[in-house]
Amino acid sequence: MKKHTGESIRIFKNPILESFTHVHPIVPLLVWTPVILFLLYRGATVKNVSSFEFFYLFVFGMLLWTFTEYILHRYVFHWDAKSAAGKYFVFLFHGLHHDDPQDPTRLVMPPVPAIIIVSLLWSLFSVIFPAQFIDVIMAYFLIGYLSYDYIHYATHHFAMTSKVGRYLRKYHLQHHYAGEKSKYGVSSPLWDYVFKTTTGPKEIH
């Protein structure tokens, strides 16, 4: 696949606002790793989560991430908006990436929208899940998010020579170029199989 050689699509006239739409791929790791370590530490020392609980919360947290990734990608980032404001929202969050999928500065989530989304999800999960476990759940959830970010970056910029890597890369690029409403999983195709969206109807433009 060809590398991105042109200029990025400009979103904002204001150069400061525009700068917030571009991000170096190392930024999510720098932002979220301290948060993850703090949450794991607090889970072990303050919330007294046991080793066994850490294990099954890891499995649960990763599944929770893949499910959230699927729901957001399918129903929010590919929302069939009718209003001008709705269409602009979809374009800002995801349509831009489909218009220029190889732009290396827009393949991981910028910190500002990522923090907003994580804060909203954290508030929701805090209502649903026990207070003792929420820190560890969120730590593993964020590990899942980072995995997604870097798998997504790799699918657009690296050959991914391993068997799993080749599969994920081909799967995601088919989401971009097959012209179907399908293949919403990036870090995992699990929920596409559950909800039968490994293939789908053609997109109407």
Give the start-to-end residue ranges of the domains of the chain.
25-194
User: Please, are residues 192 and 70 in contact by the beta-carbon 8 Å criterion?
Assistant: yes
What pLDDT is recorded for position 106?
Answer: 76
User: Please, are residues 200 and 181 in contact by the beta-carbon 8 Å criterion?
Assistant: yes
What pLDDT is recorded for position 20?
Answer: 74
Report the C-alpha gap between 93 and 73 in whole angstroms.
Answer: 10
How far is the CA of 63 from the CAs of 59, 127, 140, 145, 188, in angstroms? 6, 18, 10, 11, 10
- Single-letter amino acid code for the residue at 61: G
What pLDDT is recorded for position 1?
Answer: 43
What pLDDT is recorded for position 170?
Answer: 95
What pLDDT is recorded for position 6?
Answer: 60
User: What are the residue ranges in the chain where pLDDT is below 50?
Assistant: 1-3
What pLDDT is recorded for position 145?
Answer: 97
What pLDDT is recorded for position 173?
Answer: 92
3-state secondary structure of 99: helix
- First-to-last alpha carbon distance for the chain, in angstroms, is 24
pTM comes to 0.89
